[in-house]
Amino acid sequence: MISLDIIIPTYRLQSEYLIAIVQMEIPIEANVRFLIISDNPDGKIPDDFLLFVDNEKVILIKNRENYGVSHTRNIGIDNSTAEWILFLDDDVKPPKDLLMNYILAIKERPNEVGFFGEVLFPAPVNSFTKGICAGDILGGFSIGKYRKHSKCAPTANVLVKRSAIGDVRFLEIYDKKGACEEADFFLRIYGNTKQELQCLNNTPVYHDWWNRGKRSYERFVRINGGAAILMEKFPEYAFYTFPNIIECLFIGLPVILVSCFYIDNFLPLICVLIGIIAGEIAIEFLRLLKNKGFSASKYIIEVVLVRAAIDFGRLRQQVKQLTISKGFSKRWDFYCDGKNNNYQRFWAGLKFGTYFLIFLALYTLLK
């Protein structure tokens, strides 16, 4: 028998997702337990979900206070007694045969450190979600589409051998709601084992749009604040490139503003502002047009706003950490393999050059 514990930290306590998870088919050759850890001490456990809780196969643990996802997952790990641990998020719906396919992978490749599957989102529901899809903002969730193996994967759908975890735990230096703590966790496991997680094409889970697709940039700001922490902890997976729109505004506008007071003319400030914003839109439009065609490029403003939120989150955390001097123009490689870095540098360089050219052209015409 293969023993497997499924760890699901939950704050939202939404029965439609929790019930879908505990109703998965259990392979006859597996001993499976569900460890549901509620991180909402004031939240009411849904009555329809309580019907499934028997504290043997479906175990409910309730935190005394809101500890955050890292601490909550650690509680799950410490209460696990299985050979394998499957991490799932509390807002995904797995197919009925998810465990069947994971158990089959374990039997076929028992020496692997772990496996992961894709996290699939539904079709976009509005211009905001269409922009997210057009800009490939969800690439980390669908890493299985691009890589056969990876050093890290989202905890929304990843299976890990308990012996490989050892005494590694999720660190609580990241945002309580979650912000790259899983990359830190799996990179430390990789550092100990030198084995990458293997992608499985037949183990997807289905994730609904956050807040039903309503416009919100908080998640992108938060997650890339976590990326700034990762760059300090794992510099080998970070790289330098050209300044982005937020960095240029952060550094360029104050410098130009001082110059404007000195020459008693605010034209340079106006030209810099227009140059940076227009250059960002123009090159992002070109990238979308080249990679995905006009159907995607028409959502250019949505893409620019989301990417600006991402860049702002990273810069904000660097300012908090007082690492802006060495972190300026530094980026985290979310795939941790360097294969995408030159692509990022090319488009970042094109944008930076366009900022300057538009500024120079405007200033020359208007002065």
**Residue 336, Cβ neighbours under 10 Å: how many?**
21
Residue 234 resides in a domain: no
Domains identified in the chain, total number: 2
Residue 326 resides in a domain: yes
CATH of the domain at 154: 3.90.550.10
Q: Indicate whether 259 and 192 sit together in one domain.
A: no
Q: What are phi and psi of 330, to 5 degrees?
A: -100, 140
* pLDDT score recorded for residue 253: 83
For residue 50, give the nearest of 42, 38, 41 by alpha carbon: 38
* pLDDT score recorded for residue 267: 85
Residue 202 resides in a domain: yes
Q: Indicate whether 32 and 117 sit together in one domain.
A: yes
Q: Indicate whether 70 and 199 sit together in one domain.
A: yes
- Which stretches in the chain have pLDDT values below 50? none
Q: Indicate whether 146 and 29 sit together in one domain.
A: yes
- Do β-strands 30-38 and 2-10 pair in parallel, antiparallel, or remain unpaired? parallel
* pLDDT score recorded for residue 259: 78
Residue 233 resides in a domain: no
- Do β-strands 92-93 and 238-240 pair in parallel, antiparallel, or remain unpaired? unpaired
Q: Indicate whether 251 and 350 sit together in one domain.
A: yes
* pLDDT score recorded for residue 194: 96
Give the burial class of 53: count Cβ atoms within 10 A of its Cβ; 0-12 exposed, 13-18 middle, 19 or more buried: middle
Residue 126 resides in a domain: yes
Q: Indicate whether 263 and 143 sit together in one domain.
A: no
The whole-model pTM stands at 0.93
Q: Indicate whether 194 and 342 sit together in one domain.
A: no
From 177, 201, 216, the end of a domain falls on 216
Gap between the Cα atoms of 37 and 58, Å rounded? 11
Residue 229 resides in a domain: no
Gap between the Cα atoms of 142 and 166, Å rounded? 27
* pLDDT score recorded for residue 366: 85
Residue 87 resides in a domain: yes
Q: Indicate whether 35 and 91 sit together in one domain.
A: yes
Q: Indicate whether 179 and 317 sit together in one domain.
A: no
* pLDDT score recorded for residue 37: 97
Q: Indicate whether 209 and 265 sit together in one domain.
A: no
Find the Cα–Cα–Cα–Cα dihedral 274, 277, 280, 281, rounded to 10°. Answer: -100
Domain that holds residue 280: 241-366
Gap between the Cα atoms of 74 and 231, Å rounded? 23
Cβ within 8 Å of residue 364, ≥6 positions away? none
Q: Indicate whether 33 and 132 sit together in one domain.
A: yes
Residue 34 DSSP label: E
- Three-state SS at 199: strand
* pLDDT score recorded for residue 23: 96
Q: Indicate whether 89 and 181 sit together in one domain.
A: yes
* pLDDT score recorded for residue 255: 81
**Residue 71, Cβ neighbours under 10 Å: how many?**
19
